Structure 1
Amino acid sequence: MDAVTALPRFEIDGHAATTSELSVLAMLNYGHFTAMQVRGGRTRGLDLHLARLDAANRELYGAGLPGELVRDRIRHALGEISDAAVRVIVFGESPSVMVVVRPPIAGPDTALGLRTVSYQRPLAHVKHLGGFGQSYHRRLAEREGFDEALLTDPDGVISEGAITNLGCFDGTSVIWPDAPALDGITMLLLEKALPAQGVPSRRGPVLVADLGKFRGVFVTNSRGVAAVERVDDLRLGVDEAFMKTVTQAYESVTWDVI
C-alpha cells in the first residue's frame, strides 16, 4: 500500500505509515500514548514523557520501552519540522510505536468553565487509548457551554478533568486532588517549579463543594495552564497575580532537546 503522506504526518516504527498499517490501529482499542508540544526541536519534561511510556508499556505489554528508541522515532518523524504538536502512540501486539506530528497548538488565553460529572476513567493512572467515556462527557459539557468536564466520584470528590489536571490555590499552597487520576506532565512539572516561586504544592482530597473556598482554581495539560472561572453554576474568582505566578513557574521549566 502507498504510504500516507498527507498532514498530519504519521510514522510507525520509523517509516511513513501505510494505509494498511493505519487500518490496524483503526480496529484496535488497546494501547497507550503521550502528547507534547515541541518548539525548536525541544519539549518540556522529556524525561517524564519517556518514563510514562516505559511504565505504561510494562503494565500493558509486560516489557519496557527504551527512551532512546522513542526519541529516535520522534526525531525522525519531525524531520525538518521544529515546532509541532507531537503524539506518541504505542499499540498492537508487538507493539508498534507511532508518532503523529501536527501543527503546534497554543494553550487557552481565557479562563475556563468546567461541568462536573460523576465518572472515573478505568486504569486512571495510565494514559491509555479508548477514552470514550471522558470524550463523551467532555462533548456533553461543551454542548452545555462549558470548556471541559470535571470528573468526580458519586460523593463529589474530584479526580481530574477529561483531558486536564486540576489545581487549587488556598492562598498559601496548591492542592492537587488525591484521587485516581493521570499524573499529567504539566502538573508534575509544576509540582517542582511552583515551590521555586514561593508556592508549596501538595496532594490532598478536593471536593466540588469546597471549590468556592479557594482563592484560585486552574487546570493544566500539554497545552499549558488556564484559570477556571466557573464550575457548574458556581462562579469563581480569578486571582490574576497567582495565575501570573503559575505561568512564570511553567515558563521557567527547561526545554529538553529531543
Structure 2
Amino acid sequence: MATLNGRPVTPDALLTLALTNYGHFTSMRVDDQRVRGLGLHLERLVRDCRTVMGAELDPEQVRAYVRQAAGDLTGSFVVRVTVFDPAVEVGHPDRADHPGVLVTVRPAGRLPMPPLRVKSVRYERDVPAVKHTGLFGALHARRSALLDGYDDALFIGPDDRVSEGATWNVGFIDADGVVWPEADVLPGVTMALLQRSGEHRTMPVTLAEARGMHAAFATNTTIGVRALSAVDDVPMATEHPVLSQLRKAYLAVPGERL
C-alpha cells in the first residue's frame, strides 16, 4: 500500500523520486498500532525537512497520513514515511520546497532477529545527520559485503574509527558496559531510546578496538537490538548479559498510539 498526501499514489507521481531521489525519510515499526519513539520519528521528519527543503512539515498531518495508511492492520509491520517534492527537477534542487508525504507499508520481521556477520568497509555517508534517500553508497557497501559472504557492512572512516552500519547504528559492550562510537552518524531513534534507558558511554572506537569488545550489536526500528556474530574474521559473542538487558529495555519501551 502506498499513499501520497493521503491519496493512492500514481506511477507518474513517483517519477521525481525515482529519477532525482532528493528527499528524506523515516521508517517505524508498528506493533499493534503503537510505535516506540513515535515522537522522535516525527521530530526527525520535521528537522530533516528544514535541512533538505528549508520547509516546515506539520507532524500532526504526517501522523494522520500514517494512521490512515495503517488502517485497521493488526500485528507488526513497518511504515516508511518519505518526504520529497514531486515537482523538483534535477537541475534545481533549490526549488524543492513543497514537501509531499509518501507513506508505504511492508511486513515486519519477528524479534529477536538472528545475528549479523559484518564486513568493515571504508565509507562515510553524505550528510550523516540526515536520514536521506541517497542510499547508493550505503547499498553499494552492503552489496560488497554480501558478495564476500557477509550479512552487511560496518562503516569505517579514514581515521580508522567505526561509525555505523549500512542502515543501522552500532554499539559495543566492554568490561564497563555499553559503548557507542563517537562519530558523525545518523541519530537513530532506537539508539536514542536505549541511551535513555540505561548507563552508556560515547567514545571513539577504532576497528581494532571494536574487534576486541566483549560483544557488539546493531540497532534500528525494524530490528530492535541485533547481535553481531563477527566483525570481519573476528567472532563476537552473541549471548551476553548486557545484550539481554538491552533487548528487554527496548521491548519495555511503551509504544505511542498512532
Does the TM-score normalized on the shorter chain lie above 0.5?
Answer: yes
Q: Which residue of 2 aligns with 1:221?
A: 220
Paired residue type of 2:7: H
Name the amino acid aligned to 2:31.
Answer: R
Asked if 2 retains the 8 angstrom alpha-carbon contact of 1:215 and 1:238, the reply is no
Q: How far does residue 240 in structure 1 lie from its aligned partner after superposition?
A: 2.9
2:167 alignment partner, SS class: coil
Q: 1:238 deviation in Å? A: 3.0
Cα distance per residue 1:129-159 (max 9 Å; x no partner)? 1210000110111121111101011232011
TM-aligned CA deviation for residue 25 of structure 1 = 2.0
- TM-score for the superposition, normalised by structure 2: 0.91
**What's the offset of the Cα at 1:189?**
0.6
- CA offsets 1:171-213 (integer angstroms, 9 cap, x no match): 22211111111011111110011x1xxxx11211011111233
Q: Helix, strand or coil for the counterpart of 1:65?
A: coil
**Secondary structure in 1 aligned to 2:50?**
helix
Are 1:163 and 2:167 counterparts?
yes
Residue 205 of structure 2 is matched in structure 1 by: 206
Match of 1:30 in 2: 22
Residue 53 of structure 2: aligned partner? 61
What is the aligned-residue RMSD (CA, Å)?
Answer: 1.3
Q: Give yes or no for the alignment of 1:143 onto 2:152.
A: no
Residue 107 (structure 1) shift: 4.4
Report the equivalent of 1:4: none
Residue identity matched to 1:79 = G
Residues 92-118 of structure 1: CA deviation (Å, up to 9, x unaligned): 131100000112233453221110011
SS of the counterpart of 2:80?
Answer: strand
Aligned: 1:43 with 2:43: no
Q: Which amino acid aligns with 1:226?
A: R
- Structure 1, unaligned stretches of length 5 or more? 1-8
Matched, 1:182 2:167: no
Q: For the residues of structure 2 that align with 1:95 and 1:43, how far apart are their CA atoms?
A: 23
Instruction: Count how many residue pairs are aligned between Structure 1 and Structure 2.
Output: 245
Q: Distance in 1 between matches of 2:210 and 2:11?
A: 47
Q: Secondary structure at the match of 2:193?
A: helix
Within a 5 Å distance, the mapping from 1:64-83 to structure 2 comes to: 64-82=56-74, 83=76
Which residue is 1:89 aligned to? 82
Percent identical: 39
Structure 1 SS opposite 2:141: helix
* Contiguous gaps of at least 5 residues in structure 2: 86-95
1:110/1:102 Cα in 2 relative to 1: closer, same or farther (>3 Å)? closer
- Using the TM superposition, name which of 209-218 and 225-234 deviates more: 209-218
Q: 1:235 to 1:104 in 2, by over 3 A?
A: closer
Are the equivalent residues in 1 in contact too, given 2:5–2:101 (CA < 8 A)?
A: yes
